[in-house]
Amino acid sequence: MRLLFLTLLILLALFLTNPSFEAHKTHIIQSEEAKMKNKNTLLSAMGIGRLSGEATAALLEYHNHHIFSLTKLNGEIITIGLAHQIFRLPRRSE
């Protein structure tokens, strides 16, 4: 009985802390900005990193599995969200 209660409690916590699509998009935009900043400071100053991140975010597919979430770009999983955390996976094209 304790194990069942503990399992239900963990599932409820994961359900309540599952990151939203907006959280995934924000994470992706920020990581694109940081990547662009590292590559070229002139483009970064012009705001190109933000535009690149927003363009990428417009093409995302969000999959909510209630206790975790995924975002895909061109059918490839690029972020996994779990317990208020978002993890960026390396893309095959990078």
**How high is the pLDDT of residue 65?**
96
d(CA 63, CA 87): 15
Residue linked to tokens 């992706």: 28
**How high is the pLDDT of residue 3?**
96
> What string of H, E and C letters represents the secondary structure of 44-78?
HHCCHHHHHHHHHHHCCEEEECCCCEEEEECCEEE
**How high is the pLDDT of residue 81?**
97
Per-residue pLDDT of the chain (94 residues; tens, 9 = 90+): 999 999 999 999 999 999 999 999 999 888 877 777 776 655 555 555 455 566 676 788 999 999 999 999 888 999 999 999 999 998 776 5
